[in-house]
Amino acid sequence: MLTFGCKALRDWFNKRITVCLVVLFFFSVPLSVADIIWTVYNDCLDEGGFTQPNVTRWTIYNNHTGNYTGALKNFATGSTVGMPTVTFSMEVGISVSTGSGGGNPAAGTPADAIFGGIVDSSPNNLLYGGSGWAQEITFSNLDPDLTYTFVAAAFRNSDYTQRKTLVTISGHQSAVNNSSDGPMIVSKTSNTTIFKAANNVPIGDVVRWDDIVPAPDGTFTIRSEATADSQSGYKAYPLNGFMLQAVGQVNQSPQVNAGSDVEITLPTRSVTMNTTVTDDGLGNPSGTLAYHWSVVNGPGDVVFGPSADIQNPAVRFPLDKSGTYILQLTVTDGELENSDDIAITVYPSDCPLGDVSGDCIVDIQDLVELGSQWLADPVGNADITGDDSVNLDDLLWLAEGWLQNWQKGSLQIFLYPEQARPSALWRVDGGSWHNHDDTVEDLPIGSHTVEFLDIDDFDKPANLNVEILHDQLFQTDGTYTPHTGSLRVTIAPGDVLPDAQWRRVGQTQWLSSGQTEDNIPVGPHSVEFSLVSGWQSPATAEVFINQNSLTTLSATYYSVNAALVINEFMSANNEVTGIADEYGEFDDWIEIYNPSDMDINLGGMYLSDGDNLCQIPTGFAAQTIVSSGGYLLLWADGELATEGPLHLNFSLDIDGDSITLFDTNGTSVIDTINFDGQLPIVSYGRFPDAADDWYFFEIPTANAQNDQIGIANRVADTTFSPDRGFYSTPFEVTITCETPDAKIYYTTDCSDPIDTDGNPTVSAQLYNDASKPQVATTTSLRAAAIKADMISTNIDTQTYIFLDDVLNQATDPATGQKIVPAGYPTTWLSGGTGEAVTADYQVDPEIVNHSDPANQLTSADLREIPTICMTMDTDHWFDPNDGIYVNEALNYNVAESKEYSCSFEYFDPDGSGKDIQQNCAVAMAGGVSGGGTSLNRWKTFKLSMRPRFKQVTDDGLVTGGGSKLRERIFPDSPVNDFDSIVLDAVLNYSWLHRSQYTQAQYVQDQAVSDF
Q: 389-444, pLDDT tens digit by residue? A: 888 878 888 887 787 777 778 999 999 999 899 999 999 999 999 999 999 988 87
Instruction: Provide the pLDDT for residue 3.
Output: 32
Closest listed residue to residue 736, CA positions, set 705, 760, 751, 715: 715
Please report, to the nearest 10 degrees, the dihedral formed by the alpha carbons of residues 742, 745, 751, 757 taken in order. Answer: -40
Q: 78-93, pLDDT tens digit by residue? A: 999 999 999 999 887 6
Instruction: Provide the pLDDT for residue 896.
Output: 60
Please answer whether residues 819 and 826 qualify as being in contact, where contact means their C-beta atoms are separated by less than 8 angstroms: no
In this predicted structure, the answer to whether residue 137 has a pLDDT above a threshold of 80 is yes
Instruction: Provide the pLDDT for residue 992.
Output: 58
Please answer whether residues 95 and 129 qualify as being in contact, where contact means their C-beta atoms are separated by less than 8 angstroms: yes
The answer to whether the Cα torsion of 61, 65, 68, 70 is positive or negative is negative
The CA-based angle 72-73-76, given to 5 degrees, is 150
- Cβ burial 749-785 (10 Å sphere, 16+ → b, else e): ebbbbbeeebebeebbbebeeeeebebeebbbbbbbb
What length is written for the chain? Answer: 1011
CA distance 660 to 664: 13
Question: How many Å separate Cα 154 from the centre of its chain?
Answer: 45
Q: How many CB atoms lie within 10 A of CB 477?
A: 14
Instruction: Provide the pLDDT for residue 444.
Output: 79
Q: What percent of the chain has pLDDT over 70?
A: 90
Instruction: Provide the pLDDT for residue 250.
Output: 66
**Averaged pLDDT, 884-907:** 78
In this predicted structure, the answer to whether residue 578 has a pLDDT above a threshold of 80 is yes
Which of 845 and 6 is assigned the larger pLDDT?
A: 845
In this predicted structure, the answer to whether residue 677 has a pLDDT above a threshold of 90 is no
Instruction: Provide the pLDDT for residue 150.
Output: 97
With residue 203 as reference, give the H or E element that holds it.
helix 200-203
Please answer whether residues 413 and 478 qualify as being in contact, where contact means their C-beta atoms are separated by less than 8 angstroms: yes
**Averaged pLDDT, 666-673:** 88
Please report, to the nearest 10 degrees, the dihedral formed by the alpha carbons of residues 394, 399, 400, 405 taken in order. Answer: 110
Q: How many CB atoms lie within 10 A of CB 1003?
A: 14
Which of 919 and 94 is assigned the larger pLDDT?
A: 919
In this predicted structure, the answer to whether residue 747 has a pLDDT above a threshold of 90 is yes
Q: How many CB atoms lie within 10 A of CB 5?
A: 9
Q: 921-931, pLDDT tens digit by residue? A: 998 886 544 44
The CA-based angle 622-625-631, given to 5 degrees, is 120
Closest listed residue to residue 925, CA positions, set 947, 941, 940, 946: 946
Closest listed residue to residue 581, CA positions, set 657, 640, 662: 640
CA distance 934 to 894: 11
- Cβ burial 92-130 (10 Å sphere, 16+ → b, else e): eeebbebeebbbbbeeebbbbebbeebbbbbebbbbbbe
CA distance 350 to 285: 50
- φ/ψ of 461, rounded to 5, equals -70, 160
- φ/ψ of 660, rounded to 5, equals -130, 135
Burial of 236 (0-12, 13-18, 19+ CB in 10 A): buried
**Averaged pLDDT, 308-327:** 91
Q: 264-299, pLDDT tens digit by residue? A: 888 888 899 999 999 888 888 878 999 999 999 999
pLDDT band at 642 (very low <50, low <70, confident <90, very high): confident
* Residues sharing a CB contact under 8 Å with residue 142, sequence separation 6 or more, in sequence order: 84, 148, 214, 218, 219, 220, 246
Instruction: Provide the pLDDT for residue 22.
Output: 26
CA distance 303 to 314: 8
Please answer whether residues 738 and 714 qualify as being in contact, where contact means their C-beta atoms are separated by less than 8 angstroms: no
The answer to whether the Cα torsion of 862, 868, 872, 875 is positive or negative is negative
Peptide bond into 378 cis (omega under 30): yes
Closest listed residue to residue 403, CA positions, set 365, 348, 451: 365
pLDDT band at 217 (very low <50, low <70, confident <90, very high): very high
CA distance 558 to 535: 5
- Write down the mean pLDDT value for the chain: 86
pLDDT band at 828 (very low <50, low <70, confident <90, very high): confident
CA distance 325 to 309: 18
Please report, to the nearest 10 degrees, the dihedral formed by the alpha carbons of residues 198, 203, 206, 210 taken in order. Answer: -160
Please answer whether residues 568 and 687 qualify as being in contact, where contact means their C-beta atoms are separated by less than 8 angstroms: no
In this predicted structure, the answer to whether residue 17 has a pLDDT above a threshold of 70 is no
Instruction: Provide the pLDDT for residue 988.
Output: 58
The CA-based angle 494-498-502, given to 5 degrees, is 100
In this predicted structure, the answer to whether residue 27 has a pLDDT above a threshold of 50 is no
